[in-house]
């Protein structure tokens, strides 16, 4: 079946540290891959996405590359800030047309200390 596996949190880092949040998936066909972020007290926001193999999504200093050979979409940022403290969700979409579905990971909580 289709599934998304994220590394368990919480992840705690100091400001300016390098961030990696792992995400791997299983899916039939050719899924699109996404990272959403949920800041405290808010709903989810799309952070970045990639729609085909080898695509790199990027936004706000975050990057993730769609790796079909390793079925992964790891989120990275070179230098985190306190304002990056949030919960990060990896997701994939499968299917076509009216049967399209979004499959969500459990989320990884990130806390960045000054």
Partner 1 sequence: ETGVTQTPRHLVMGMTNKKSLKCEQHLGHNAMYWYKQSAKKPLELMFVYNFKEQTENNSVPSRFSPECPNSSHLFLHLHTLQPEDSALYLCASSPDKFGQETQYFGPGTRLLVL
Q: Which chain residues interact with partner 1 by CB under 8 A?
A: 4, 32, 34, 41-46, 49, 89, 91, 93, 97-98, 100-106
Q: Measured from the CB atom, is 34 or 73 closer to partner 1?
A: 34
- Residue 108 CA to residue 87 CA, distance in Å, equals 5
For partner 1, give the closer residue by CB, 35 or 80. 35
What is the closest distance, in whole angstroms, from the C-beta atom of residue 20 to partner 1 in the complex?
A: 21
Residue pointed to by tokens 């299917």: 95
What's the rounded Cα separation, in Å, for the pair 54 and 42?
A: 31
Q: Is there a contact between 105 and 2 (Cβ–Cβ < 8 Å)?
A: no
**Nearer Cβ to partner 1 (4/80):** 4
């Amino acid at each position: 079946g289709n599934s998304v596996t994220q590394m368990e949190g919480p992840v705690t880092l100091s400001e300016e540290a390098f961030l990696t949040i792992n995400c791997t998936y299983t899916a039939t066909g050719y899924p699109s891959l996404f990272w959403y972020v949920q800041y405290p007290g808010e709903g989810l926001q799309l952070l970045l996405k990639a729609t085909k193999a080898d695509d790199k999504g990027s936004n706000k200093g975050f990057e993730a590359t769609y790796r079909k050979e390793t079925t992964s979409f790891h989120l990275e940022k070179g230098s985190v800030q306190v304002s990056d403290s949030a919960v990060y969700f990896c997701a994939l979409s499968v299917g076509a047309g009216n049967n399209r579905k979004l499959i969500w990971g459990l989320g990884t909580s990130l806390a960045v200390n000054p």
